[in-house]
Amino acid sequence: MVAELGHFINGKSVSGTSGRLHDIFNPTTGEVQRSVALATRAEVTKAVDAAQEAFYGWSTTNPQKRARVMFKFKELVEKDMDNLAKLLSSEHGKILPDARGDVIRGLDVIEFACGIPHLLKGEYTEAAGSGIDVYSMRQPLGVVSGITPFNFPAMIPMWMFGVAIACGNTFINKPSEKDPSVPLRLAELMMEAGAPEGVLNVVNGDKEAVDAIIEDPRVKAISFVGSSDIAQYIYENGAKNNKRVQAFGGAKNHMIILPDADMDNVVNQLIGSAYGSAGERCMATPVAVPVGEGTAETLISMLKPKVESLRIGPSMSEDSDLGPMVTAAQCERVAGYIQMAVDEGQDLIVDGRDFTLQGYENGFFMGGTLLDNAKPEHKSYREEIFGPVLQIARAANFEEALALPSNHQYGNGVAIFTRNGAAAREFAARVNVGMVGINVPIPVPVAYHTFGGWKRSGFGDTNQHGPEGVKFWTKVKTITQRWPEDVQGSEFVIPTMG
């Protein structure tokens, strides 16, 4: 009998009532280690009730006191780092150092949110008109929600609820049912940090829970990270239900390699960004674009032995390069894309499909795969594979290389490796992608900037964290005030500031 996880509502862990359960696997062994209850609409409603009840008291708590809760939460997460990393690795499959990185990158945004007293300061104009001052204030929206993915069960929830809660909102997190233990633990730590009951709730579930969040009129905003089709669904239906929505979807990030690049550095950076976390990152680098035939041949000759010698181990490993994938179904999906690429005419340089780890033959392991001659018309190139697969798409010149990511349906991230500052500057200015790295393989911005892709990688006008995050989780109120010394006559025309 495996343990059953429920939900976290109104400051307490509660059992599920639906009778519907989802298996949570240990990716290293392939065994079911626990299950999670999938919420009914009624359970989502209870979470919204709790958040609504908590909103007035929390939103009227002064920002400095809210910041103190965030400081304490950061301290508690740091103390619980090892436990969180092990929980994360045991359900997701990423190796322990990568799991710690997942938590740390989330804490970066919590640190940013600790500055909320400054971030919420409005604008003020004295004497905008005769005896008239104008000022603005940012106020929280109310009950808000985050629907978060399996691949970053610590980082992305903290990216969302850190800023949202600091701004004075109350929050409902609907995490992935594949690895929900870390989001549940984070909610417990938020209560320990001093947040009132109902400020942070976690409801586990599937489409039924998502639709309940979308359709509840008390939920004022939704942030989502996942596949593009679901992102579009949430964006469209959230908007129909009068919600503010930011929905981030899939990716197919390219690394452009100019002939003058330091190839040793390129290969080292590409190996980590393509195969780290078994490629299950929206900011991974699944496409390399060498410019010129000489660059391509050198790149392949240097990549092949490194891909073949990737160190693949159990998720609790401290010294492996990557661990297992999250589920057997994900392994099968990735293997299908590899075969698709071969059928499309791509050259299979290294095939990782037959990899097994001795002693863990039932684990969800896959070796690194390297493919050459991917073309824009290939379906395997157009779609997100989300596994330890690197495709090489050759370009004859700079313009061809620029066109590949610019014309792709996804526009999350892109990188260029070169010693030529003018070429890098031109590329960054012209490429039709939301985040750009120059000699940086995974261009995830620091917490006080903002994260977001273009095209089918992002739906909505406002990005995550940084100043854009504060903007998303608040609304602006503008006040025009006058304190006349004596009563004025009636005014029948629109006031002017002349």
| Active-site residue set | 282
What does each C-alpha distance from 371 to 78, 285, 304, 314 come to in angstroms?
40, 13, 10, 25
| Strand, helix or coil for residue 331 | helix
Torsion of CA 189, 195, 196, 202, to 10 degrees: -50
- Round to whole Å and give the CA distance between 210 and 206: 6
Strand partners of residue 291: 395
Q: Which residues contact 32 (CB under 8 A, 6 or more apart)?
A: 2, 23, 24, 25, 26
**3-class SS at 483?**
coil
The residues, ordered by sequence, that sit 6+ positions from 371 with a Cβ below 8 Å of its Cβ are: 338, 341, 342, 346, 347, 348, 349, 389, 390, 391, 392
Instruction: For 467-497, give one letter per residue: b (16+ CB within 10 A) or e.
Output: ebbbbbbbeeeeeeeeeeeeeeeeeeeeeee
Residue 446 has what DSSP assignment?
P
CA distance 157 to 181: 12
Q: What does 345-399 look like in DSSP terms, one character per residue?
A: T-EEEE--TT---TT-TTS-----EEEE---TT-HHHHS---SSEEEE--BSSHH
The kind and range of the H/E element at 492 are none
| 118: number of Cβ within 10 Å | 9
Q: Which of 20, 54, 372 is nearest to 204 (CA)?
A: 20
256: DSSP letter: E
Q: What is the DSSP letter of 28?
A: T
Residues facing 247 on adjacent strands? 224, 459
